[in-house]
Structure 1
Amino acid sequence: MAKKLTQKQNAESGFRASAKLSTSMQRVLVDLLDLQLQGKQAHWNVVGTNFRDTHLQLDEIVASARRLSDTVAERMRALHALPDGRSSTIAETSSLPAYPTGEVDTKQTIDLITERLEAATGTVRDVHDSVDEEDPTTADILHVVLEELEQFAWMVSAENRKPEK
C-alpha cells in the first residue's frame, strides 16, 4: 500500500549533506570553475603550431567543465549545501596552479592544461571515497567528472607525447 505524503515529507526535508560532504563537493566545484576560467585564458592566448586544433579543444574542455560544475553545484543544492562560486573563493581555494599571463606556445599550453586537468581529477579522487561512503548518488556524479576530465587529459597530453619504443 502506497504511503500518502504529508506536506512535510518532500525534498526540502530529505537527505542533507554533512559538513564533510559539503566541503568535499565545494572543493570539486571550485576546481571545475577554475578549470573553466583557465581554459578560456589558454584559449584566448595560445599561439603556435597546431593553434586551431588546440584552440578548439580548449573550448571543449571549458564547455565540459562548465556543465560539470553546474551539475555539482545543483547536486549540492539538492542536498541543502551551499555552493560558493565567487571569484574570491575560487582564487583562494582552487588546487589548480595559476595560469601564466600573455601568449603561450601551443606545446606549453598542452602541458599546462594537462597539469590543470590532472590537478582537478586529483581533487575528485581525493574526496571520492568519503563522498561515496556518505552518498553513493553524489559519488556517481564524481565518476562522470573523472571520466570526462581524465579522457581530456589523455587526449590533450597525447599532442606532446612521443611513441613508446
Structure 2
Amino acid sequence: MSIISSPLPDAERAVTGTALQGTLVDLLDLSLVAKQAHWNLYGPRFRTVHQQLDEVVTTARDYADQVAERAAALGISPDGRAVTVAAGSGLPGFQQGWITDDDAVEALVRSFAALIDRLRARIGATAEADPVSQDLLIGLTAEIEKQSWMFQAENRG
C-alpha cells in the first residue's frame, strides 16, 4: 500500500520502483566503500586519493537522496536500511583493514564499472516506464562515469 498517489500506472511504477531501489542500494554501498577506503588508506598518493574518495562519498550521498526522494514522490517507499544494502548491492565486496592507495584506486575502478553497468541497464528499463526517473539516472550515470575516468587516470596498473 502506498500513502502517496503515484502519477504512474502500476506496471510503470513497479519497473521504476525496482530501478530506483536498486540504484539507492548501490549508491549507499558506494558511499560506504569509499568511506572505508578513505579511513584505511595509506601510500605515497594518500592525500590526493583521500580527497578523491571524499568526492565519491559526496556524489553518492547526494544522488542517493535524490533517488530516494524521486521514489517517494512516485509513492514508492525507499529502503536504505543496512540489511537491505547488504543484501541488495551489486557492487563488488571491499576488503577490511588498511589499504594501499593503488589497491583503493583499483577497488573503486571495479565498483564504478559494476555500478555503471547496472545504471545503464536501469536507464533502458525506465525509458518507457518513467522518462523523468530515467533523466535522473542519466545524470547520475554521467557523474559516475566521470568519477570512474578520474580514478582510472590515477590507476598505475
Aligned amino acid, residue 122 of structure 2: V
TM-score by length of 1: 0.87
Tell me how far 1:46 sits from its aligned partner.
Answer: 0.9
Residue in 2 aligned with 1:137? 132
* Cα deviation digits, residues 56-81 of structure 1 (max 9, x gap): 00000000000000000000001111
Residue in 2 aligned with 1:8? none
Residue in 2 aligned with 1:15? 7
Residue in 1 aligned with 2:105? 110
Residue in 2 aligned with 1:4? none
Query: Where do residues 4-153 of structure 1 align in structure 2 (5 Å cutoff)?
Result: 12-16=4-8, 18-153=13-148
Q: Matched residues in 1 for 2:81 and 2:153: separation?
A: 33
Aligned amino acid, residue 73 of structure 1: A
Tell me how far 1:13 sits from its aligned partner.
Answer: 3.9
Tell me how far 1:151 sits from its aligned partner.
Answer: 0.3
Query: Please, what is the CA RMSD of the aligned residues?
Result: 1.3
* Cα deviation digits, residues 24-45 of structure 1 (max 9, x gap): 1111110000000010000001
**Aligned-residue identity in percent:** 40
Q: Matched residues in 2 for 1:27 and 1:141: separation?
A: 14
* Structure with greater Cα Rg: 1
Which of the two has greater helix per residue? 2
Q: Matched residues in 2 for 1:36 and 1:23: separation?
A: 20
Runs of 4+ in 1 over 6 A off after TM superposition: none
Task: Report if aligned partners of 2:35, 2:54 keep a CA contact under 8 Å in 1.
Answer: yes
* Cα deviation digits, residues 65-120 of structure 1 (max 9, x gap): 00000000000001111110000000001001111001111011100011111211
Greater relative CO (CA pairs within 8 A, separation 6+) = 2
Equivalent residue of 1:127, what SS?
A: helix
Q: Matched residues in 1 for 2:5 and 2:34: separation?
A: 38
Unaligned runs of 5+ in 2: none
Equivalent residue of 1:18, what SS?
A: helix
Task: Report if aligned partners of 2:116, 2:144 keep a CA contact under 8 Å in 1.
Answer: yes
Equivalent residue of 1:81, what SS?
A: coil
Structure 1 window deviating more from structure 2 (94-103 vs 17-26): it is: 17-26
TM-score by length of 2: 0.92
Paired positions, count: 151
Tell me how far 1:157 sits from its aligned partner.
Answer: 1.0
